[in-house]
Amino acid sequence: MAYKLAIFDLDGTILNTLEDLADAVNYALGEHDFPVRTIDEVRRFVGNGIRKLVERAVPAGLEKEEIDRVHETFSVYYQQHCADKTRPYEGILPLLQRLRAAGCLTAVVSNKADEAVQPLCRRYYDGLFDYAVGERPGIGRKPAPDAVLEVLRRLQVDAAHAVYIGDSEVDIQTAVNAGLDSIIVTWGFRDRAYLESQGGRRFVDRPEEIEEIFLS
| 69/198 Cα distance (integer angstroms) | 33
For position 33, which CATH number holds?
1.10.150.240
Q: What is the DSSP letter of 187?
A: S
Residues 23 and 100 in one domain: no
Mean pLDDT of 21-29: 98
Considering only CA atoms, which of 128, 121, 134 is closest in space to residue 98?
A: 128
Count of domains observed in the chain: 2
Residue 185's identity, in one-letter code, is V
The residue from 65, 81, 97 where one domain ends is 81
Q: Are 110 and 134 in contact (CB under 8 A)?
A: yes
76-132 tens-digit pLDDT: 999 999 999 999 999 999 999 999 999 999 999 999 989 889 999 999 999 999 999
Residues 37 and 115 in one domain: no
Residues 103 and 169 in one domain: yes
**Range of 197's domain?**
5-16+87-215
CB 10 within 8 A of CB 120: yes
Tell me, yes or no, whether 140 and 59 share the same domain: no
- Lowest mean per-residue pLDDT among 13-27, 39-53, 55-69, 154-168: 39-53
Average pLDDT for 7-23: 97
Average pLDDT score over the chain? 95
* Residue at a domain's end among 37, 57, 81: 81
Digit-coded pLDDT (tens) for 36-72? 999 999 999 998 889 999 999 999 999 999 999 999 9
Indicate whether 32 and 51 sit together in one domain. Answer: yes
Rg (CA), the chain: 17
Residue closest to 70 by CA, chosen among 27, 40, 114, 112: 27
Phi, psi of 85 (to 5 degrees): -120, -5
Q: Which residues are catalytic?
A: 9
CB of 106 closer than 8 Å to CB of 96: yes
Q: How far apart are CA 110 and CA 190, in angstroms?
A: 16
Task: Specify whether 165 is located in the same domain as 191.
Answer: yes
Q: Where residue 121 sits, what CATH number does that domain have?
A: 3.40.50.1000
The domain boundary, picked from 56, 81, 106, lies at 81
Asked if the model's pLDDT at residue 1 lies above 80, the reply is no
In this structure, the answer to whether residues 211 and 115 fall within a common structural domain is yes
- Indicate whether 163 and 72 sit together in one domain: no
Q: Do residues 193 and 101 share a domain? A: yes
Q: If we measure between CA atoms, which residue out of 178, 167, 164, 170 comes closest to residue 143?
A: 170
Q: What is the pLDDT of residue 48?
A: 86
Helix spans in 47-161 (H) = 50-57, 64-81, 92-101, 114-125, 146-155
Tell me: do 76 and 103 sit in the same domain: no
Same domain, yes or no, for 130 and 205? yes
Cβ density class 63-73: b for 16+ within 10 Å, e for less: eeeebebbbeb
Vertex 180 angle, CA 171 and 48, to 5°:
20
Average pLDDT over residues 180-203: 96
Residues 97 and 191 both lie in one domain: yes
Q: Is pLDDT at 163 greater than 90 in this prediction? A: yes
